[in-house]
Amino acid sequence: MITKKAEYAIIILTELASHPQGTVITSKRIAEKRAIPANLVVQLLAVTRTAGWTVGARGPTGGIKLTVDPAEINMRQVIEAVDGPIGITRCLFSDKPCHDKTHCSLRGVWSEAQDKMLSVLENVSIKDLTDAAQNDC
Amino acid sequence: MITKKAEYAIIILTELASHPQGTVITSKRIAEKRAIPANLVVQLLAVTRTAGWTVGARGPTGGIKLTVDPAEINMRQVIEAVDGPIGITRCLFSDKPCHDKTHCSLRGVWSEAQDKMLSVLENVSIKDLTDAAQNDC
DNA sequence: TTATAATATGACCAACTTAGTTATATATTA
DNA sequence: TAATATATAACTAAGTTGGTCATATTATAA
């Protein structure tokens, strides 16, 4: 399951992308506008910062802004930055087949199903979401 | 996330499908052959029975057998029978858009990603898995 | 008819995950 | 130097998951 935190991170990035380029917005303002708990916003901005997508300026006139083109950030990247590697089943997380069997036909199905899902998420960028009218999911 | 119980149910059905038609196998035997906790096998067979896929004969010579063509049971059906409705995000479970907004562009993406995943699972039947050499995932 | 082998069902539990809170440290500007 | 902002880590309540335990019920074989 894709967590609510990952959804929040996507929303936060779309909020940042919808601002005039170069201007900052405070984490508190993002929380208010998007109805996300303020502390969670701060937490998630730490993730986006580590990923190299945002920078924060401290002090009274401080705030957050994007450092990259929102067209260059896709949904899969954000989800994985927040939730870690995506796996629709437990067995897709480990490298070796379950029970040390040489082959596992189920694994191939899980893998294909997951890849289909991921390719959709990879093809939607933060810019795509910002362009769409409303994205307050 | 697709649960281990759902995986087990799929494995149990493939085990049943790999048996000579009309013959029964005991739940204990399935547990041994597939390395699944015996009590879980019993629990999951209750689900397959409710779904109309299996029947059990009681008594000393009893056991379980399929009641339908394994080509007619697909993976999505089994997963949903065990885990309930599938949703890659929380928001896909409810009918109304999040926060009562009229529209939500994220929701469309989640929905498309999930549909792609589900269509893979719908197109693989228990028979397909049985035909593949090994399926002890 | 009676012991036995099997299914059927529900309650229960420990470990883990998730969503969110709290607390505190640090930097910057007016 | 006071105020305002980001940065970071520890903590917690609630829910989920994977699995166990106990018991009832049914049907067959001897």
Query: Which CATH number is B77's domain given?
Result: 1.10.10.10
| Contact between A91 and A99 (Cβ < 8 Å) | no
Asked if B35 and B28 count as a contact pair (C-beta separation under 8 A), the reply is no
- A11, A135 contact by CB (below 8 A): yes
Residue B20 tokens read as: 């000579």
Overall residue count recorded for chain A in this entry: 137
State the average pLDDT over residues B18-25.
88
Q: What is the pLDDT of residue A102?
A: 43
Domain range for B24 is 4-131
**How many domains is chain B built from?**
1
Tell whether B89 is covered by a domain.
yes
Q: A109 lies in a domain? A: no
Of A23, A83, A9, A18, whose CA–CA distance to A53 is shortest?
A9
CB atoms within 10 A of CB B26: 16
Pick from A7, A75, A89: CB nearest B1? A89
Predicted structure pTM score: 0.91
Q: Read off the pLDDT of each residue in B53-80 and give the average, rounded to a whole number.
A: 93
Selecting from B103, B107, B116 the residue whose C-beta is nearest the C-beta of A116 gives B116
pLDDT in tens, B70-107: 999 999 999 999 999 999 998 766 655 555 444 478 88
Give buried/exposed letters for A123-134 (b at 16+ CB in 10 A, else e).
ebbbbbbbebee
Amino acid A129: pLDDT: 93
Residues of chain B with pLDDT > 70, as a percent, come to: 88
The region that residue B34 occupies, defined by phi over 0 for left and psi between -120 and 50 for alpha, beta otherwise, is: alpha
Asked if B137 lies within 8 A of A7 by C-beta distance, the reply is no
With bands split at pLDDT 50, 70 and 90, how would you rate the model's confidence at A66? very high
Q: Is residue B126 part of a domain?
A: yes
Q: Which nucleotides of C are covered by protein (CB under 7 A)?
A: 4-10, 18-23, 26-30
Task: Give mean pLDDT, residues B117-136.
Answer: 86
Note whether residue A27 is domain-resident: yes
Torsion angles phi and psi, residue B16, rounded to 5: -65, -40
Is A112 a domain residue?
no
B4 residue type, one letter: K
Facing residues of B125 across strands? B74
| Cα separation, B70 vs A110, whole angstroms | 19
- Other CB atoms within 10 A of residue A100 CB: 7
The DSSP letter of residue A132 is S
In sequence order, the β-bridge partners of residue B21 are none
With respect to residue B93, please indicate whether it lies within any of the assigned structural domains.
yes
Q: Does residue A60 carry a pLDDT above 80?
A: yes
Cβ–Cβ gap A134/B102 under 8 Å? yes
Question: pLDDT tens digit string along B29-42?
Answer: 999 999 999 999 99
Place of tokens 């949703």: B87
User: Is A33 a domain residue?
Assistant: yes
Is residue B136 in a domain? no
Model confidence at B11: pLDDT above 50? yes
Give the pLDDT of residue A135.
47
Higher-confidence position of A95 and B23:
B23
